[in-house]
Structure 1
Amino acid sequence: MTDLAESPLPTSDQLREQVSRVLQMARDHGASQSEASLSYSRGYSVSVRESEVESLEFQRDRSLGVTVYFGHRRGNASTGDLSEQGLRAAVEAAVTIARVTEEDPCSGLADRDRMATEFPDLSLDHPWMLTPEQAIEQARTCEAAAKGVDARIEHSEGAGVSTQRGISVYANSHGFVGARSGTQHSMSCAVVAAANGQMQRDYWWDGGRNPARFDSPEAIGRRAGERAVARLGAKTLSTRNVPVLFSPEVARGLFGHFIGAISGGALYRRASFLLDKLDQPVFSPQVVLRQQPHLLQAAASAAYDQEGVATAERLLVDHGVLRGWLLGSYSARKLGLESTGNAGGVFNLVVEPGALDQSGLMREMGRGLLVTELMGQGANGVTGDYSRGAAGFWVDNGQIGAPVEGITIAGNLLEMYRNIVALGSDVDVRSGVRCGSVLIDRMTVAGDGEAGP
């Protein structure tokens, strides 16, 4: 089998030349402004189940997106046909759309003077020189380690390895041209443990830009197996109001809701529970949130946003006080403000860690619920009302006790944010939201148990 990691992608110079032709075509059609993004990516994924290869999928994608403006009329088109004829057809489609679209005074490119001029090396491109055969063996090793944890692990839902490398160029008629390349790799495993007529599934994974920083396949597998076995004997709880500790892998979702609430689209549509909260306390005083877009090898690092605007480190929450929005040029104009360089979202939201790890936070909590899994999409971005299915462990005397499942945790996000009493030092760096465990003073935990720990 071909080692796809070594299969060449086009060079940035080749992509620049193609994008330049697209912008020239737009000018030839009389567009007052235009922008285009061209991307290529290649990779593969393997999945192994019970030592047998379940799937091997190769992925090769390429796409062009082009937007043209005639004054304040906008048209957009995309294509995967990157022949000269395909590029021309995409531009003509965008032009046709723009000419029949109503004017929107907020449409147009980001301001010329906001374009990025510095392009630091953020160390995002780390190809994994791993053949599919080697990936299959790593997945098998990971799965075997998981199944070897305990005799009660009866089944595997599979182990997988994926690797992808991509390159893209964004350019606009201001003269801005930006190129970036990057990789994304992962390894995961999920197994099922069984005892006394009960079955419990759990998983673990590692992922990121640089596979040299991953845990070993054995360590990932063991963690998956240990998590599944630990859930055996899980029961529901009776309804109660108790402290709740979110483990890092689920705690980042709390900050994901915050990101949505301070994003331009929600704000100008007046569909955010944080409307009119700028420069007001929205978190407890110990919470500090920063955007850090230039972290090396991080998941969401970038020198410029989707419009070419330079990214910058920003203090979004200063000891509980909300200090900024996440705006692209369109949402900024709708709000009468300026772009914050966040077209496309936040670029590495970093939650300033506290002094205690998860074990320390459990001791501080004393008695309450440790949440390790959330189910459903029960967060209302307009009101902040929050209700999610959950599973985890009851904590008593600062120690993990019985596993629990079949419960719902509920509250209001604004109240939950203000009731954060501690942030963990156990920071999970695998995603664009970097945070540790989060301890909330009190939430409603609902279950149909007659009693409980």
Structure 2
Amino acid sequence: MNESDFSHSDEQLREIARDALERARRQGASACEVEVSVGYGQTVTVRMGDVETLEYSRDKGLGVTVFLDKRRGHASTSDLDPEAVRQAVEAALAIARHTAADECAGLADEDLLARDIPDLDLYHPWSLPVESAVELAKTCEEAAFAVDKEVRNSEGATVSVQASRFVYANSLGFMGGYPATRHSISCAVIAGQDEAMQRDYWYSSARSPEDLEPAAAVGRRAGERAVARLGARRLPTREAPVLFEAPVAASLLSHFVAAASGGNLYRRASFLLDRLGEPVFAPLVQIDERPHLKRGLASAPFDEEGVATRDRNVVKDGVLQGYFLGSYSARKLGLRSTGNAGGNHNLLLAGGPLDFAGLLKALGTGLVVTELLGHGVNLVTGDYSRGAAGYWVEGGEIAYPVQEITIAGNLIDMFRTIAAVGNDVVVRGSKQCGSILIEHMTVAGE
């Protein structure tokens, strides 16, 4: 994997973008934006020591949005030839002519566009021959089986290598883009026999292969987690403190981002509507957005509309400081874009002094959640109810695994009763946090 493996160079993508913008201008568009991208990858999965899948991918695409004053049209194509670009522009214009005017439609505000585009070190090609990828996957799976004789089956170990490049341009004169990579190693195995079987997994993801967990370590974690779940029980229904393990704790941040995002806010479908400047979390909670972290999995110098990203405090001492807005939703709310068209960038929940073992002591007697099932979250009311599995803790020590339970509460109360945030951060995506301890929730079982 290297620069020459892309089907189009950076300059070729820029030329395609210029061509689309010029075609739109000549055909009467009052404004236009275009994104053109290419990518390729290799994914190998080994199961029970044999190669199960070997996949090569090569993608390309163009999306063009045109405006006829306040009427908007969008079209896309996976063909980057000039004729296909022409047809996409014409299709977008045809759609715009039949679309109702929307006073909030339009490009991003010109003064918010990125002028200086820093290098965030996002491109780390991995020249991994397929034979080496297979060996890595085998090493990963073998390490899982070596944990314990109870690890008897596997859903596979996967090694994925991905690279992409894009250019975004608009008729305000903005043009920018860069290449990026994302690689991963994962493993899922099954422990036990017959009805007593338990499945668990582990994975590592990074921009650079040198930042990935070793393949053997990924497999070992998967095996250990599967074995630890053997003998899982149900629990009688009760109220208890709940500790969300770091990998699932990030889902709480996802619910927060969804509730604080422009689309749900202007539709009045969020429990955080009109809550700017108010306490919505416990005072110990600090959440920052850091879009310029080097090698960050969600780092970006500008958002999907070319708006410059910047560091900011989203929650300070529990108080909501800002929403997540693109240009359209910002206008609907009478605000300005926060550089979040397309989502958040490296959202960091500050951890406290406790590691996972320390959090277990702080939990005392209660539930550790390591897996969540279902999607029982109502962003309008904040009501929260999801299937879960994990461990029951007594006296600060794990007593036994549990399964087939439901945890329920309300996100408004859950956020306000966060008792501790751990320093056991697992970095896998756009939201980074340690384990989160909540003072009380309803745990429903038998």
Q: Distance in 2 between matches of 1:204 and 1:244?
A: 22
Q: Distance in 1 between matches of 2:240 and 2:193?
A: 29
Q: Partner of 1:35 in structure 2? A: 33
Equivalent positions of 1:14-33 (< 5 A) are 14-33=12-31
1:383-430, Cα deviation, whole Å (9 max, x unpaired): 110001000011111111100001000000010000000000011112
Q: Partner of 1:357 in structure 2? A: 355
Q: Distance in 2 between matches of 1:245 and 1:376?
A: 18
Q: Distance in 2 between matches of 1:227 and 1:396?
A: 19
Q: Does 1:301 align with 2:295?
A: no
Pair 1:390–1:6, CA change in 2 (3 A): farther
Please report how far the alpha carbon of residue 6 of structure 1 lies from its aligned counterpart in structure 2 after TM superposition: 6.4
Q: Partner of 1:451 in structure 2? A: none
**Could you tell me which of 438, 442, 445 is aligned with 1:444?**
442
In structure 1, the residue corresponding to 2:263 is in which secondary structure? helix
1:91-145, Cα deviation, whole Å (9 max, x unpaired): 0000111111111111010111111011111111011110111101100110011
Q: Partner of 2:139 in structure 1? A: 141
Q: Partner of 2:42 in structure 1? A: 44
In structure 1, the residue corresponding to 2:56 is in which secondary structure? strand
In structure 1, the residue corresponding to 2:218 is in which secondary structure? helix
Q: Aligned residues: percent identity? A: 55
Q: Partner of 2:314 in structure 1? A: 316
**Could you tell me which of 381, 402, 405 is aligned with 1:383?**
381
Equivalent positions of 1:2-401 (< 5 A) are 7-194=5-192, 197-401=195-399
Q: Do 2:2 and 2:126's aligned partners in 1 also have CA atoms closer than 8 Å?
A: no
Q: Distance in 1 between matches of 2:255 and 2:222?
A: 27
Runs of 4 or more above 6 Å deviation: 3-6
Q: Partner of 1:434 in structure 2? A: 432
Q: Give the CA RMSD over aligned residues.
A: 1.1
Pair 1:292–1:163, CA change in 2 (3 A): same
Q: Distance in 1 between matches of 2:3 and 2:372?
A: 35
Pair 1:196–1:164, CA change in 2 (3 A): closer
Aligned partner letter, 2:37 = S
In structure 2, the residue corresponding to 1:238 is in which secondary structure? coil
Q: Distance in 1 between matches of 2:320 and 2:352?
A: 19
Moved more, 365-374 or 194-203: 194-203
In structure 1, the residue corresponding to 2:197 is in which secondary structure? strand
Please report how far the alpha carbon of residue 341 of structure 1 lies from its aligned counterpart in structure 2 after TM superposition: 1.2
Q: Distance in 1 between matches of 2:242 and 2:286?
A: 20
In structure 2, the residue corresponding to 1:241 is in which secondary structure? strand
Q: Do 1:250 and 1:374's aligned partners in 2 also have CA atoms closer than 8 Å?
A: yes
> Where do 5+ consecutive residues of structure 2 fail to align?
none
> Where do 5+ consecutive residues of structure 1 fail to align?
449-453
Q: Report how many aligned residue pairs link the two structures.
A: 446
Q: Do 1:5 and 1:129's aligned partners in 2 also have CA atoms closer than 8 Å?
A: no
1:77-99, Cα deviation, whole Å (9 max, x unpaired): 00011111100000000011111
Q: Distance in 1 between matches of 2:185 and 2:135?
A: 12
Please report how far the alpha carbon of residue 195 of structure 1 lies from its aligned counterpart in structure 2 after TM superposition: 5.1
Q: Do 1:5 and 1:165's aligned partners in 2 also have CA atoms closer than 8 Å?
A: no
Aligned partner letter, 1:157 = E
Q: Do 1:4 and 1:131's aligned partners in 2 also have CA atoms closer than 8 Å?
A: no
Pair 1:92–1:323, CA change in 2 (3 A): same
Q: Distance in 1 between matches of 2:378 and 2:195?
A: 37
